Structures are given as structure tokens and as C-alpha cells.
Structure 1
Amino acid sequence: MRLFLTVAVALSVSACGTVTRGSNEDVTFNSEPPGAKVTTSTGLVCAATPCTFPISRKQEFIATFEMPGHHPQQIEVKTEVSGGGAAGMAGNVVAGGLIGVAVDASTGASYDHTPNPVFARMVPIRPERQPVAPSRQRRSGAPGV
């Protein structure tokens, strides 16, 4: 009986997405032009793009890109079940791995971040055009003007 339980647990864990994919995913941040500062709503900070952080697969967040002379950009990063995550979940079910299903659900191992890479096109701030005041020029030949 113990041998059966040991084999059942081993099968459920071996099919587990947490083991094969991990509970974190590398998320890359890029901007055009490069060099933007990125701050995430989870508290991560990148001094200059491009950069990459390992982020929990179940963590959704907002990335704010900032660059002097450009408008800030905010990009929402969501999570969704990936093809690999769905295959891992199916493997859990086939192998009878209720434990693996529970572990994957709690760690978010079956999810991927989207978009990844996170990309922001930085839009330059254009100074507002100041209205041109009519110039007061002297006309030749006009007295006192």
C-alpha cells in the first residue's frame, strides 16, 4: 500500500506544471527608444530598458514606463492559461494527480503573462506652439508709427 501511494504521489508531482515550468516567469520590458525607467505596481523597478524580471506566474500588474521628454505609458500585464500550462494540467488529470492540479492552481504554474515582452513606444512631449504676437514694425515713410 505504501509503495502504491509513493508511486501515485511521484506520478502526480512529475506531471505537475510547477515542476516543469516553475512558479515564476521571466518578463521582459522594452521601449522605443530604449532607456525608459519601468516601475511595476508590484514594486519592481528597472532603471533603463531593456530589462527582465522573474515574476510570479499568477501575478497581474501594471508597468509604468517613464522617460524624460516623453509621455509616461502604462501597460496592463494579465495572466492567461498557456498551451504548456494546459498540457501540464492535462498530464495531472491523466496521471490521476489531484495533488499536482492543486499545486499548479496555487502556484499559478499553468499561467503565462501577456503581453510578454512588455513594450512601450515612448511618445515625445512636443512643446505647445506659442501664438506669434503680431510684430510692430515701422513702415518707412509713415510719420510717428
Structure 2
Amino acid sequence: MRLISILILFLFSSCGSITRGTTEVLEIKTDPSGAKVETSNNMMCSSTPCGLKMKRNSELNVIISKKGCNTLKVNVTNQVANAGAASMAGNAILGGVIGVGVDAYTGASMELVPNPIDVKLECN
């Protein structure tokens, strides 16, 4: 049993799913503050600044609105994160082929961009 535990630990060493997780907080800041945020994946916050917990491999649109201001739409996508790339390399070097596959499947090696979203609203 101890050998199996060591083998599993070795296979998952540097696994991004374990070290980084599969979610991150998308931060939204506006000037002026107090804007409403809605996303294409049905999440929302009633007043900026705020943060929404998202899967790292998400692709979505963020709609930012405030009475008396122009509504903004921000496209959020993902890319391989520096830490994610290091994790993938660690998996490959240490023989954690399973970890590479898990990270690719779960999106643990990714990060949301842009993050944070920091916008200036045009208000009347």
C-alpha cells in the first residue's frame, strides 16, 4: 500500500490540478464603481468591484452596466499560464504523464485573460 501511495504521489507531482486548482477568481473593477456585472455563463455580481469564481479554461463574455453609463462587453478567454506551463513541464520531466493529461482536461494549466478586468465607464 505504501508503494502505491508513493507511486501515485510521483505520478501527480507538479500536477496543476493539485497545486493550482481548476478555478480562479475573475476580478472586475470599474471607474466609477458600483456597476452591475453579468456573464454569458449566467454568473453575476450586483456592484463592482467584485470577483467571480470561474473555471480556468472558461471562455465567456462579461457585460458591465451602470445607469447613466455606456454598457461594455468584454470577451474573456484563456491561455496557458506561466505557472501552468511550469507545471506541465514538471509533469513531463518527472514522468507524470497522467498529470499532463489531467491538467489539459481540467484546464488547471490555463488562466483567464484579461484578469483583472479594469475598465473606465463613459457616463453622462
Aligned to 1:60: 59
Aligned to 1:19: 18
CA RMSD of aligned residues (A): 1.4
- Gap runs ≥5 in structure 2: none
TM-score by length of 1: 0.80
Aligned to 2:105: 106
Q: Label 1:7 to 1:99 Cα distance change in 2 as closer, same or farther (>3 A).
A: same
Aligned to 2:69: 70
Whether 1:91 and 2:77 are equivalent positions in the alignment is no
- Counterparts of 1:93 and 1:111 in 2: how far apart (Å)? 17
- Counterparts of 1:92 and 1:102 in 2: how far apart (Å)? 9
TM-score by length of 2: 0.93
Higher strand share: 2
User: How many residues are matched?
Assistant: 124
- Counterparts of 2:35 and 2:5 in 1: how far apart (Å)? 51
- The alpha carbon displacement at 1:4 in A equals 5.8
Whether 1:119 and 2:118 are equivalent positions in the alignment is yes
Q: Report percent identity of matched pairs.
A: 36
Partners of 2:13 and 2:96 within 8 A in 1: no
- Counterparts of 2:40 and 2:120 in 1: how far apart (Å)? 19
- The alpha carbon displacement at 1:82 in A equals 0.8
Q: Which has the higher contact order (CA 8 A, sep 6+)?
A: 2
Secondary structure of residue in 1 paired with 2:12: helix
Partners of 2:11 and 2:99 within 8 A in 1: yes
- Give per-residue Cα distances to partners, 1:5-54, cap 9 Å, x unaligned: 54333112121011000000111011110000000111101100000111
Aligned to 1:79: 78
- Gap runs ≥5 in structure 1: 126-145
